[in-house]
Amino acid sequence: MHPHSKNIASVKIKQVLSALEQFAPLPLQESWDNAGLQIGLTEAEVSGALLCLDVNEAIVDEALQKQCNLIVSHHPLLFRGLKQISDANDVQRTVMKLIKAGIAVVSMHTNLDNALGGVNFKIAERLGLTDVQLLAPKNVGGTECGSGVIGTLPSPMDAQDFVLYVKRQMEAQSAACNELMKRPIRRVAICGGAGDFLMDEALKAGADAFLTGEMHYHQYFGYEQQLQICVIGHYESEHFTAALFQEIIGKACPEIRTEIAETNTNPIHYI
């Protein structure tokens, strides 16, 4: 017998689910959200976990190819109830394909946005921010959590250099900004995804810049020379969440093989 072969402990899907929920408890999610187990049998043994932002048919194909019977995504596959499971649309086809293949899906969405050490802390880490704190802290059943983070750049940056730095660190192809600030950028507020609801909080907290994934046209008005708005795309703002999943699972269940998805699920293409 190979000396290591007997040590390969089996881990069940429910153990990974509980490790993820321990890091980002489900009560932390927003009321409209549907984080948690989406599909699958939790008593099954994990053959491997594919980590991604969105679940679509291409991701299921990648899971099959990589022999992963668990997909961990940031965005939930299911938001509303399904009244039919057929080939009528992409979500239904994906559900059908997952069930046929015996692949489970777990999604950690706004519960992970709001958790300490969650999505926005990961973005702050990519930017090398220090002194990172919750931007809009709250307390849910004794757990400290909240929306957005704010932190300090290692050294002050010229506004244009800052935007280019963000693009590079986040591997983004474009950045939509308001008028470039004439003062240096030191404090940066962050909210992955659609974060414009936090801009006034960012100003109040003394941020020089506000980084988010997407924002409506009219929201750009009125912050000139107050806040350097920097909008890099929803996918680009959150795609390092897969690396965060890898850290969480690696710590709690080191026996499990985790794979960061190679499939780019961004539905938006820049021409």
Interface with Zn ion (CB under 5 A): 193, 238
Q: For residues 21 and 238, which CB has a smaller minimum distance to Zn ion in the complex?
A: 238
Please give the Cα distance from 43 to 94 (Å, whole number).
Answer: 22
**Residue carrying the six token digits 């409506």:** 216
137 touches 201 (CB < 8 A): no
* Minimum CB–partner distance for residue 131 and Zn ion (Å): 25
Instruction: Report the largest interatomic distance among the alpha carbons of the chain, rounded to a whole angstrom.
Output: 70
- Distance in Å, CB of 50 to Zn ion, minimum: 18
Closer to Zn ion by Cβ: residue 236 or 238: 238
CB nearer Zn ion, residue 54 or residue 259: 54
User: Is residue 210 within 8 Å of residue 199, measured between CB atoms?
Assistant: yes
We find the least distance from the C-beta atom of residue 109 to Zn ion, in angstroms, to be 7
**Smallest distance from Zn ion to CB 254, Å:** 28
Distance of CA 96 to the CA centre of its chain: 25
- Which of residues 46 and 230 has its CB atom nearest to Zn ion in the complex? 230
Give the tokens for residue 151.
Answer: 């932190």
Nearest approach, Cβ of 234 to Zn ion (angstroms)?
6
DSSP 3-state percent helix, strand, coil across the chain (nearest 5): 35, 25, 40
For Zn ion, the closer CB: 208 or 238 = 238
The neighbouring-strand residues paired with 229 are 210
Minimum Å gap between C-beta 156 and Zn ion is: 30
Closest chain position to Zn ion (CB) = 193
Q: How many residues does the chain have?
A: 271
Measured from the CB atom, the residue of 45 and 79 that comes closer to Zn ion is 79
66's CB contacts (< 8 A; 6+ apart) are 48, 50, 259
Considering beta carbons, is residue 196 or 208 the nearer one to Zn ion? 196
CB of 74 to Zn ion, least distance (A): 6
> Can you spell out the DSSP letters for 176-198?
EESSPPSSPEEEEEEEEEE-GGG
Question: How many Å apart are CA 175 and CA 181, to the nearest integer?
Answer: 15
Nearest by Cα to 49 from 21, 17, 1, 2: 17
